């Protein structure tokens, strides 16, 4: 793996405590003779938003599923705050591109049923209060009794985000959550996501790990960007630091030298260096 590409900017505000929020240690994932991931190592520190980007088939979603506990490494281990991940848990929630809502349930029921499954420690009143807060936060309170089929794509993704936040995980996992949306709706939801994350405060969501194909999205949202090599035998090719202050102004950001330099470097990586092996 090459050295991290850090652009000339002030030092990152992210602290580096002794125990990472998420540790990926020597992870390999094989399916029979097919090697999807090979020797993946990464520490993610509390308070970081990290994006994973790369060509199709580079193991991005495989890695996210391992973090979620939906799959298990063939070798190596993954830990959250020093605890080994052995399966899904309430300390992690995932938002998918296809919303993954239950179509026969109302918006509200999609949230409360997720809480019932993920947070058995909550009583009925606590579940309802958490659902209330999540739906009001994403602006879906007036639509809480509608079925998903009555909502727009952006509204359905807001339900998925509300469901994930209602569980109060420590790590939010996003698998191309805005990939199917138009540019205007995507931009609005990106800003809403950052607002929700920053408003979580102590005891809320500490980290976000997002898989994306969108370079602009990765730069706008992230503190660091993990660029994967092509598969099979995919590994981390480079880790890029996004030294841009928060909160970020989209209009100003896209004109900054830091943004332009980082985007040019990523385009070179994905369009030239890695494309030759794609």
pLDDT tens sequence across 218-231: 999 999 999 999 98
Q: Would residue 238 be called left, alpha or beta, if left means φ above 0 and alpha means ψ between -120 and 50 degrees?
A: beta
Largest Cα–Cα separation, the chain: 56
Indicate whether 211 belongs to any domain.
no
Q: What DSSP string describes 247-277?
A: SPPHHHHTTSHHHHHHHHHHHHIIIIITGGG
Alpha helices in the chain, H assignment, sequence order: 60-68, 107-118, 124-137, 153-166, 183-199, 215-221, 250-253, 257-268
Mean per-residue pLDDT over the chain, rounded: 88
| Residue 240 shares a structural domain with residue 251 | yes
**In CATH, what number is assigned to the domain containing residue 120?**
3.40.50.300
Instruction: Give the model's confidence band at 112: pLDDT under 50 very low, under 70 low, under 90 confident, else very high.
Output: very high
Write down the pLDDT at residue 109: 95
| Residue 81 shares a structural domain with residue 25 | yes
Higher pLDDT among residues 182 and 12, named by residue: 182
Q: Phi and psi for 207 in degrees, rounded to 5? A: -135, 150
Asked if residue 49 has pLDDT above 60, the reply is yes
How confident is the model over 267-274, as a mean pLDDT? 85
Decide: pTM greater than 0.85: yes
How confident is the model over 219-245, as a mean pLDDT? 95
Asked if residue 275 has pLDDT above 90, the reply is no
Asked if residue 277 has pLDDT above 90, the reply is no
Residues 6+ apart with CB under 8 A from 34: 232
Residue 244 domain boundaries: 1-90+216-278
Pairwise CA distance, residues 130 & 167, whole Å: 8
Instruction: Give the model's confidence band at 2: pLDDT under 50 very low, under 70 low, under 90 confident, else very high.
Output: very low
What dihedral angle (degrees, nearest 10) is formed by the CA atoms of 151, 96, 201, 81? Answer: 160
pLDDT tens sequence across 12-48: 344 445 789 999 999 999 999 999 999 999 999 999 9
| Residue 57 shares a structural domain with residue 161 | no
Write down the pLDDT at residue 69: 96
Which tokens belong to 5?
């590409």
Indicate whether 146 belongs to any domain.
yes
Pairwise CA distance, residues 106 & 242, whole Å: 39
Chain centre distance of CA 225: 11
Whole-angstrom CA distances from 187 to 85, 154, 249 are: 33, 11, 12
| Residue 117 shares a structural domain with residue 177 | yes
Asked if residue 203 has pLDDT above 70, the reply is no
Pairwise CA distance, residues 223 & 220, whole Å: 9
Q: How many folded domains does the chain comprise?
A: 2
Asked if residue 10 has pLDDT above 70, the reply is no
Pairwise CA distance, residues 55 & 278, whole Å: 8
Write down the pLDDT at residue 180: 81
Say what percent of the chain tops pLDDT 70.
91
How confident is the model over 236-243, as a mean pLDDT? 96
| Residue 176 shares a structural domain with residue 260 | no
Indicate whether 242 belongs to any domain.
yes
């Amino acid at each position: 793996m090459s050295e991290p590409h850090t652009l000339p900017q002030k030092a990152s505000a992210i602290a580096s405590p002794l125990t990472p929020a998420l540790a990926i240690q020597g992870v390999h994932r094989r399916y029979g003779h097919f090697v999807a991931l090979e020797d993946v190592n990464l520490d993610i520190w509390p308070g970081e938003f990290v994006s994973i980007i790369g060509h199709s088939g580079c193991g991005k979603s495989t890695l996210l599923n391992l973090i979620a506990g939906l799959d298990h490494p063939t070798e190596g281990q993954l830990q959250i705050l020093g605890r080994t991940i052995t399966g899904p848990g309430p300390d992690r929630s995932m938002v998918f591109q296809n919303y993954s809502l239950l179509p026969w349930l109302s918006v509200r029921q999609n949230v409360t049923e997720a809480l019932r499954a993920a947070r058995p420690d909550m009583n009925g009143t606590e579940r309802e209060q958490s659902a209330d807060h999540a739906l009001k936060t994403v602006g879906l309170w007036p639509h809480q009794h509608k079925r998903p089929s009555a909502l727009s794509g952006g509204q359905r993704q807001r339900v998925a985000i509300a469901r994930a936040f209602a569980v109060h995980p420590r790590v939010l996992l996003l698998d191309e959550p805005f990939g199917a949306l138009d540019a205007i709706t995507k931009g609005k939801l990106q800003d809403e996501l950052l607002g929700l994350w920053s408003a979580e405060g102590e005891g809320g969501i500490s980290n976000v790990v997002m898989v994306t194909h969108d370079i602009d999205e990765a730069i706008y949202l992230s503190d660091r960007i993990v660029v994967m090599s092509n598969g099979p035998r995919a590994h981390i090719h480079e880790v890029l630091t996004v030294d841009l202050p928060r909160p970020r102004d989209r209009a100003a950001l896209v004109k900054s030298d830091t943004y332009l330099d980082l985007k040019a470097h990523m385009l070179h990586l994905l369009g030239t260096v890695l494309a030759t092996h794609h």
